[in-house]
Amino acid sequence: MPLKESPMAQKAVVLLSGGLDSTTVLAQAQMDGYEVYALSFDYGQRHDSELDAARIVAQRAGVVEHKVVPMSLRSIGGSALTDMAMDVPEVASEGIPVTYVPARNTVFLSIALGWAEVIDADAIFIGVSAVDYSGYPDCRPEYIAAFEKMANLATKRGVEGRPVRILTPLIDLTKADTVRLGVRLGVDYAATVSCYQANSLGEACGLCDSCRLRIKGFAEAGVADSTRYVG
């Protein structure tokens, strides 16, 4: 039997923070057959080690290209993740937490959209989850659907009837589901950094909201937690 011709590879921009979720999404995008263009942001986050993790993840995954775009969200202020004058909370918070960066996913998706248009990508992947979403409004499916609609009114591709899709493979997954998915996809979580205040070695605090969710995720998935913690 002759080999099937492989379909022409489709391109995808994958938003890659270097954390657990986006690293899993990158693996899923490659499993789905996309050529991956990884996009990270240097937005003045406290935890630079996240960016180091993103570089390692992108390199190991063999992406076509990895861009790190400088983005000074710090200049507009308003979040404990970018404003050094605010403390990152170490207790579980209710409602929209102070770690919420105003319009962050919208800004990141918009720049991804610009790059997607330049390289003529078919999809943009983002690792949001509406389940363990920490109270961020821009992680909900109705937000993603509205962004996709706007994106296809904004761009050449959309005007030409070749819409770009915003793909969110984790949207209905708990953190434990994501860990299970990542293990099936062969993701090495030891390289990833989720902590809001990881140190320069990439070691996690184990106390912030992001660490709590991650620890709970590994525990519920029954997967050994390879995260490196401080001390």
- Positions at the binding site for ATP: 16-26
Other CB atoms within 10 Å distance of the CB of residue 178: 26
* Residue of 96, 201, 219, 230 that binds its own copies (CB under 8 A): 96
155 counts as binding its own copies under rule CB under 8 A: yes
Mask: binding to its own copies, 52-81, rule CB under 8 A, as x and -?
---------------x-xxxxx-xxxx---
Cα gap 17→83, rounded to integer Å: 18
138 binds its own copies (CB under 8 A): yes
Longest CA pairwise span in the chain (Å): 66
The one among 10, 11, 90, 114 contacting its own copies by CB under 8 A? 114
Residue with smaller CB distance to its own copies, 158 or 202 = 158
**Looking at 47, 66, 104, 180, which residue binds its own copies (CB under 8 A)?**
104
Q: Cβ-count burial of 21 within 10 angstroms (0-12 exposed, 13-18 middle, 19+ buried)?
A: buried
Output 89 or 114, the one with its CB closest to its own copies: 114
Instruction: CB nearer to its own copies: give 132 or 138.
Output: 138
Establish if 150 lies at the interface with its own copies (CB under 8 A). yes
Which residues carry a binding-site annotation? Answer: 16-26, 195, 205, 208, 211
DSSP result, 47-63: -THHHHHHHHHHHHHT-
106 sits near its own copies (criterion: CB under 8 A): yes
Distances, alpha carbon 163 to alpha carbons 26, 107, 177, in Å: 21, 19, 29
CA distance 99 to 91: 12
Strand partners for 123: 12, 165
**In the complex with its own copies, which residue's Cβ is closer, 39 or 176?**
39
Contact code string over 4-43 relative to its own copies, x by CB under 8 A: ----------------------------------------
User: Which residue is it, tokens 């290209």?
Assistant: 65
Q: Are strands 165-167 and 34-42 parallel, antiparallel or unpaired?
A: unpaired
